Amino acid sequence: METRVCRIRDVHDIRIETTRIEQPGPGEVMVAVSAGGICGSDLHYFHEFALGPFRIQGAMILGHEAAGTIIALGDGVTDLEVGTHVAINPSRPCMNCDYCLKGMTTHCQDMRFRGSAMRVPHYEGLFRDRIVLEAEQCVPVGNVDLSAAACAEPLAVCLHARHMAGDLMGKRVLVTGAGPIGALCSAVAAQAGAAEIVTTDLQDVPLGVAEALGATEVINMSRNGARMERFSNGKGHFDVVFECSGASPAIQGAMAAVRPQGRIVQVGTGGQASVPLSAIVGKEMTWQGTQRFRHIEFHEAVRLIRTGGLDVSPMVTGQFPLEEATTAFETAGDRSRAVKVHLMFEGA
């Protein structure tokens, strides 16, 4: 059997190709993929053929956000059925290294993560009509729209960031950057009972999505940056900041707006940034990194989507058939008109 795949071969060179797919083996299932979300890392591969130090060697199938329908079962799979709608967990920690054994699976020393150039040969991604994978990577989503289910992975990222932030009930929260992760950080802060959620960005479209997902105030910094000045009075206002931009101006603004002994959760990775260490010391603030997610958070993301505990639909601003993948990637990179763009596959 053959299946179509979305493979990148060079900068801006995405090709829809076919590859052979075998029937699922013991403990495996075959999934007909319905929807796949284009992530910021996919955009880095599209524009730079690399993500940080990890350059694609030859070519790679992209994608790590996806959902679909099980269409075949391998031997020994008893807890899933043909026809089950599932979100696909792209993360496979080894569960044997020191960090996995300590429960720190995001730091696995032998991590396999779909659609990542970190390993060579690459651990190919999920953007394809059909894929065979381990049954344990498939989490049932009930009858929700599969495009919404494909948002489970970025939602899990934000749930892990919330875990690193601590209790948000009644807290004042700032979110800098309203891309897909920033918008969902606004959503998980609201779902956790934050009393105030201010979200900033340079574009109106993502700010509108953040507001729909739970932000109590949105500020376009390109036009109304002065509205942030009041939050710096009295040594700062916010208990917690989710810094989702990775941009030096946003980081410095966050440091001015966070209160003494507040916490900045660094979600965005924008490369090198200038950080005034005296401000960290003077305010006794905590700067907390966060990376990916644990399995428990992926399952929690699916539960929230399945039960309606969190409506992710406002963030999906575009859907394109696989054969229009290049247009989809170009649209996803235009933050003036897109937040989360999905590719739609044969299983849709």
For residue 87, being part of any structural domain is answered with: yes
140 & 229 share domain: no
The tally of domains found in the chain comes to 2
User: Structure pTM?
Assistant: 0.95
For residue 7, being part of any structural domain is answered with: yes
275 & 324 share domain: no
CA dist., res. 4 & res. 346, Å (int): 9
CA nearest to 132, candidates 9, 278, 27, 252: 27
146 & 164 share domain: no
132 & 185 share domain: no
For residue 300, being part of any structural domain is answered with: no
Q: What are phi and psi of 33, to 5 degrees?
A: -75, 135
For residue 307, being part of any structural domain is answered with: no
22 & 46 share domain: yes
206 & 328 share domain: no
The pLDDT, as a whole number, for residue 348 is 60
268 & 323 share domain: no
- The residue range of the domain holding 224 is 156-289
Q: How do 316-321 and 217-220 pair as beta strands?
A: unpaired
CA dist., res. 188 & res. 161, Å (int): 9
For residue 295, being part of any structural domain is answered with: no
For residue 131, being part of any structural domain is answered with: yes
CA dist., res. 230 & res. 124, Å (int): 47
Are residues 348 and 149 in contact, defined by beta-carbon separation less than 8 angstroms? no
The pLDDT, as a whole number, for residue 61 is 97
The pLDDT, as a whole number, for residue 170 is 98
Cβ-based neighbour number of residue 269 at 10 Å: 15
106 & 183 share domain: no
Residue with tokens 């690399």: 50
The CATH number of whichever domain residue 44 belongs to comes to 3.90.180.10
Query: Coil, strand or helix: which one is 221?
Result: helix
For residue 93, being part of any structural domain is answered with: yes
For residue 306, being part of any structural domain is answered with: no
Side chain identity at residue 86, one-letter code: V
137 & 186 share domain: no
The pLDDT, as a whole number, for residue 211 is 97
CA dist., res. 328 & res. 6, Å (int): 12
CA nearest to 199, candidates 9, 339, 8: 339
The CATH number of whichever domain residue 187 belongs to comes to 3.40.50.720
The pLDDT, as a whole number, for residue 271 is 67
From first to last of the 348 residues of the chain, give the pLDDT tens digit.
Answer: 899 999 999 999 999 999 999 999 999 999 999 999 999 999 999 999 998 889 999 999 999 999 999 999 999 999 999 999 999 999 999 999 999 999 999 999 999 999 999 999 999 999 999 999 999 999 999 999 999 999 999 999 999 999 999 999 999 999 999 999 999 999 999 999 999 999 999 999 999 999 999 999 999 999 999 999 999 999 999 999 999 998 888 999 999 999 999 999 999 987 677 788 888 999 999 999 999 999 999 999 999 999 999 999 999 999 999 999 999 999 999 999 999 999 999 876
CA dist., res. 238 & res. 152, Å (int): 28
28 & 103 share domain: yes
CA dist., res. 288 & res. 262, Å (int): 11
216 & 229 share domain: yes
119 & 246 share domain: no
